[in-house]
Amino acid sequence: MSGTPIQAGDAGEDLTRRLLDQCDVSWFFVEQDRATKSTRLRALGAKRVDLVVAFQGTSLLLDSKCQHPSKRAPDGSLTFGLERTEIARLEATAKEFGLPLAVIFWDRGVQSATYVIEYLDRLDREVEIAGKPGLAACFERHETCDVMLFD
């Protein structure tokens, strides 16, 4: 897998769909295209999420993020973060639809991947991401889940 944002995004979306299927969770994928977002959502600065998931009797908006190569610390912890502008766009989407929004963060290795699903409010540490202000969270090893990758 190359490290470009689009390829990493596609990889994260694919990993998420496969995981949800393995867990027998109902979902539908939201296509990425300018025509798939209303004028109102564009005006609000809302971000198109990757999936809508049926979870515990309600719906959940879910966005996938993937980092590759792995950024695991020596103690096994992982740090994931988002730029503040992306957080604001995701929050606008959740507010407009009145649904909770979570992000599934993937740390992809060669033969396995580690993931964590969290709500945006877990991101509480000021960081810089690609030279822009962002928020991040550090997840201890026991807070993450591993999956083996099979093509």
DSSP letters spanning the chain: ----HHHHHHHHHHHHHHHHHHTT--EEE---SGGGS-HHHHHHTPPPPSEEEEETTEEEEEEEEEESS----TTS-EEEEEEHHHHHHHHHHHHHHT--EEEEEEEE-SSEEEEEEEEGGG--EEEEETTEEEEEEEE-GGG-EEEE---
Give the tens place of pLDDT for each residue, 87-140: 999 999 999 999 999 999 999 877 788 999 999 999 999 999 989 999 999 999
Distance, CA of 50 to CA of 36 (rounded, Å)? 12
**Mean of the per-residue pLDDT values of the chain:** 88
Give the tens place of pLDDT for each residue, 14-23: 999 999 999 9
Residue 135 one-letter amino acid: L
Least confident of 27-36, 74-83, 84-93: 27-36
Residue 73 one-letter amino acid: A
**Which is more confident, 75 or 67?**
75
> Whole-model pTM above 0.85?
yes
Distance, CA of 90 to CA of 103 (rounded, Å)? 10
Q: Report the topology of domain 5-148.
A: Trna Endonuclease; Chain: A, domain 1 (3.40.1350)
